[in-house]
């Protein structure tokens, strides 16, 4: 009895150790990604010609959106790499690419120095980071789901968004510290570069940690079954799973747009519409996201008890019905406390999606195609809808029709809600609970 308990405790510690190492790298990657959004108000004037703030925000948001276009390529290349060569190798490669992108932004001269080459260098850096993030999401979601303890996969996989949002919190936290230590003029002149230099250094540390992670047992079993061949099915095999791919697209659509609306866009919206001071907006974002982080494992643990679909349905109904009134109310919320409560209400709704989206997608695919299956459909959806959300919102705001965007978000959430209604409960009969499937059995399952 004692040996059984000890073995269980050792196994749980092993899971925690691997989840920690994988999550720290994920945190640094997303810190680097969100540092761009957090520091846009300070570096936009450095890389673009002088104009009104909304136009500079739009130019920065356009490059933010273009960076998203690389995410499908990253999801495809690094997802396929992870299915063939291992989750650990792919995660190490993705964080290396992120370090390179952050370092390039930190060292790039401004528009006043090199003219049009400045935004081009910024674009290049974001393309590299987009490639990195596209692969990071797919592989980290797969890795955390595969190494998690059965019956607690919702809890452990929720740490993907814990560290994703914690990365955003680190970016905002650094912004708050810099706002206290140096002036706004210094932040706009050179202070913003500190954020990207720290990101590059952190990515190097994460790369070291990831090299010491254990490979997931699911991948090792798949590799052993493949014999001398490389595991991983590639795009051709992925297309044998059309329903799973379309499910990923459908469940991601409303979630990604809502997430970026209630996080990155709200920062600019609160500055531009109710005209809340930039420093106050940073504090509002930081406090709301800190609570949001705590909600993720709680909701993930809840999904292990009641299933994934109830939480997804909660998000779908909430985002469909509440987005328009919440955003409309925020437009006239000059009181920072009211603005915080509105943002928090939106993030509570979004938690129904963010806390379990990684495990839901991983539970749709067999081992040999899981990283690619999770990554490519998701990255395509995020690139088309998530990456353009802020740009579309700012453009509509600039032409005086910002309220149209609110209905757009609600409509996309409704589409996802319909998908949740008809998708199966993924926590039941999950491929994660099986051994590596035989290829011919898997193909037969797809046909049926």
Helices marked H in 86-158: 87-107, 111-114, 117-147, 153-157
Does 404 fall in a domain?
yes
pLDDT at 443: 38
Q: How many CB atoms lie within 10 A of CB 379?
A: 31
pLDDT reading at 373 higher than 50: yes
Q: Are 102 and 167 in contact (CB under 8 A)?
A: no
Give the mean model confidence (pLDDT) for residues 405-411. 97
Who's near 434: CB < 8 A, 6+ residues apart?
A: none
Average pLDDT over the chain, rounded to an integer? 84
DSSP string, 145-159: HHHSPTT-HHHHHTH
Number of domains in the chain: 1
Structural domain contains residue 273: yes
C-alpha dihedral over 141, 143, 149, 155, to 10 degrees? -20
pLDDT over 70, % of the chain: 89
Q: Which domain, by its residues, includes 144?
A: 20-212+243-433
Q: What integer pLDDT is reported at residue 245 of this predicted model? A: 92
The Cα–Cα gap between 30 and 35 comes to 8
Element counts in the chain: helices (H) and strands (E): 21, 0
The per-residue pLDDT for 346 is: 96
- 122 is a domain residue: yes
Q: What average pLDDT does this structure show over 273-285?
A: 88
Rounded average pLDDT over 293-320: 95
Instruction: Give the pLDDT mean for 11-27.
Output: 79
Which of 254, 276, 258 minimizes the C-alpha distance to 267?
276
Q: Return the pLDDT at 403.
A: 92
Read off the CATH number of the domain in which 155 is found: 1.20.1250.20
* pLDDT computed for residue 440 by the predictor: 37
Judged against a pLDDT cut of 50, whether residue 428 lies above it is answered with yes
Asked if residue 231 belongs to a domain, the reply is no
Burial class (CB in 10 A: 0-12, 13-18, 19+), 283: middle
Percent of the chain whose predicted confidence (pLDDT) is above 90 = 29
**Residue 351 scores a pLDDT above 60:** yes
Residue 8 placed within a domain: no
pLDDT at 172: 79
| Residue 35, pLDDT above cutoff 90 | no
- Average pLDDT (111-123) is 85
Over range 127-155, report the average pLDDT.
84
Report if residue 5 sits inside a domain: no
Residue 165 lies in a domain: yes
Q: What is the pLDDT of residue 247?
A: 93
For residue 195 the two structure tokens come to 């954020």
- Section 365-393 average pLDDT: 86
How far is Cα 71 from Cα 79, in angstroms, rounded to an integer? 11
Residue 57 pLDDT greater than 80, yes or no: no
Whether 224 is in a domain gets the answer: no
pLDDT at 163 exceeding the cut of 70:
yes
Judge whether residue 78 has pLDDT over 80.
Answer: yes
């Amino acid at each position: 009895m004692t040996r059984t308990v000890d073995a269980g405790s050792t196994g749980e510690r092993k899971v925690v150790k691997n989840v920690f190492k994988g999550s720290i790298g994920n945190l640094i990657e997303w810190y680097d990604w969100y540092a761009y959004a957090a520091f846009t108000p300070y570096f936009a004037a450095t890389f673009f010609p002088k104009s009104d703030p909304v136009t500079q925000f739009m130019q920065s948001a356009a490059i933010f959106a273009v960076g998203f276009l690389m995410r499908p390529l990253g999801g495809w290349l690094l997802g396929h790499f992870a299915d063939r060569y291992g989750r650990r190798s792919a995660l190490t490669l993705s964080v290396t690419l992120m370090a390179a992108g952050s370092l390039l932004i930190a060292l790039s001269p401004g528009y006043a120095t090199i003219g049009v080459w400045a935004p081009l260098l910024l674009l290049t850096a974001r393309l590299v980071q987009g490639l990195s993030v596209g692969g990071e999401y797919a592989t980290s979601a797969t890795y955390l789901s595969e190494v998690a303890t059965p019956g607690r996969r919702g809890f452990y996989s929720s740490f993907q968004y814990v560290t994703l949002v914690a990365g955003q919190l680190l970016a905002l936290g650094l912004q708050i510290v810099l706002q206290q230590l140096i002036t706004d003029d210094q932040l706009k002149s050179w202070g913003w570069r500190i954020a990207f230099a720290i990101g590059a250094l952190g990515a190097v540390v994460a790369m070291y940690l990831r090299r010491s992670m254990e490979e997931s047992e699911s991948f090792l079993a798949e590799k052993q079954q493949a014999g001398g061949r490389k595991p991983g099915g590639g795009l051709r095999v992925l297309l044998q799973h059309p329903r799973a791919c379309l499910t990923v697209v459908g469940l991601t659509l409303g979630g990604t747009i809502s997430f970026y609306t209630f996080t990155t866009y709200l920062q600019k919206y609160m500055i531009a519409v109710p005209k809340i001071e930039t420093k106050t907006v940073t504090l509002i974002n930081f406090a709301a996201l800190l609570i949001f982080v705590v909600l993720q494992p709680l909701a993930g643990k809840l999904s292990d008890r009641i299933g994934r679909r109830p939480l997804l349905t909660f998000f779908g109904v909430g985002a469909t019905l509440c987005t328009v009134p919440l955003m409309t109310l925020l437009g006239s919320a000059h009181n920072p406390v009211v603005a915080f409560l509105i943002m928090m209400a939106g993030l509570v709704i979004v938690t129904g999606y963010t806390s379990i989206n990684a495990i839901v997608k991983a539970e749709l695919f067999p081992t040999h195609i899981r990283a690619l299956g999770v990554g490519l459909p998701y990255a395509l959806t995020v690139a088309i809808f998530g990456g353009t959300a802020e740009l579309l919102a700012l453009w509509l705001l600039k032409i005086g029709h910002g309220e149209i965007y609110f209905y757009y978000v609600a409509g996309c959430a409704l589409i996802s809600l319909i998908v949740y209604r008809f998708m199966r409960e993924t926590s039941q009969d999950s491929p994660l609970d099986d051994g590596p499937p035989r290829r011919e059995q898997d193909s037969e399952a797809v046909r049926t």
